[in-house]
Amino acid sequence: MNLYTRMALFGGYLAPAMACAQSLAPVEPEDSVLQPVVVTGAAVHRMRWLSPATVDIVETDAVQAGQLQVNVSESLGRVPGLLIQNRQNYAQDLQISVRGYGARSTFGVRGVRLFVDGIPASAPDGQGQAANFPLGMAQRIEVIRGPYAALYGSSAGGVIALYTGEGRTPASLQAGVAGGSDGLRRISTQAQGTVGTLNYALDVSGFATDGLRPQSAARRDTGYLKLSHPYDQGRVVVVVNRQTGTAQDPLGLSRAEFAANAYQATPNASTFNTRKGFDQTQVGAAWEHRLGGGQRLESWVTSGDARSRSTRLFPLQHS
């Protein structure tokens, strides 16, 4: 039997087996094919940025629900790239750092721009404080990180912008009281409403504490009034911010003092009554106009009167 005869016989035996295998293969119905899946990151009306900026938005619930509403660090602790250190010393305020910017500031906030309703809360030299943020009526807080923070001004390593709610109908009035250890107490009142085409929002709060350490008591009274007039293509906003208070400074402890008693104050703090007092008033106006095509024009002007007095001790430099 030659080679060709053997191949023909082998093909005859293999053909029925292949036909049987093909007949047993399941036939997929048309409805088993997966349908296309469309994933949308955010609704169009919620897309604030069309550029690749790194932005985190903290909504009202995270700012107010279950919070004392005294320090902005209460609600921004989970924002990546943002470090807020509450030094429990109201004479030095919070230390805010965005991707390293502002980490070397010994008091106040530097390198990070602060805004309230589009109006700067930072001085022209870049220094600011978050103590005057009206957390009781905050609608959202936006944190901008990276190079696109330069949209809010040069030499800005980051931006923290708080936006309050608009006045609404019917008018509303609410109040809150909070208390805690070390003599902490806070009382606040918020009112919102409309008068004709003018919307208004008012926040008044008072905060005081005896402090965790001796010579660390603090008191702070703030008031914030916002008037806004919307029109077809934009709106005009006027804000008035008032803040007064005092804060004692217990100063820092040496390693030996901290090991002996971490809750003590240095003797010099009581001897010289180290403290800080502040009295600040700010008036600002902002104008926003939509140009179409996702573009808009913003302009603002602000004026303020700030007076601060402090008594601190600094180590002498010996040559």
The predicted pLDDT at position 159 comes to 86
The predicted pLDDT at position 16 comes to 52
The predicted pLDDT at position 314 comes to 40
Q: Which position has the token pair 């924002």?
A: 79
The predicted pLDDT at position 56 comes to 82
Does the pLDDT value for residue 240 go beyond 60? Answer: yes
Calculate mean pLDDT across residues 202-214.
Answer: 91
pLDDT confidence tier of residue 317, bands split at 50, 70 and 90: very low
Query: Which contacts (CB < 8 Å, 24+ apart) does range 208-213 have?
Result: 208/183, 208/184, 209/90, 209/182, 209/183, 209/184, 209/185, 210/182, 210/183, 210/184, 211/182, 211/183, 211/248, 211/250, 212/88, 212/182, 212/263, 213/250, 213/263, 213/264, 213/265
Greater confidence, 268 or 6?
268
**In this structure, what CATH number is given to the domain that contains residue 140?**
2.40.170.20
Does the pLDDT value for residue 307 go beyond 60? Answer: no
Does the pLDDT value for residue 21 go beyond 50? Answer: no
Greater confidence, 48 or 136?
136
4 in a structural domain: no
Domain extent, residue 200, equals 54-310
5 in a structural domain: no
Calculate mean pLDDT across residues 78-97.
Answer: 82
228 in a structural domain: yes
Are 144 and 152 a contacting pair, CB within 8 Å? yes
pLDDT confidence tier of residue 63, bands split at 50, 70 and 90: confident
Calculate mean pLDDT across residues 207-219.
Answer: 90
241 in a structural domain: yes
272 in a structural domain: yes
Q: How many domains does the chain have?
A: 1
Instruction: Return the bridge partners of 298, or none.
Output: 288
The structure's pTM equals 0.72
112 in a structural domain: yes
29 in a structural domain: no
Calculate mean pLDDT across residues 269-282.
Answer: 87
Does the pLDDT value for residue 222 go beyond 70? Answer: yes
18 in a structural domain: no
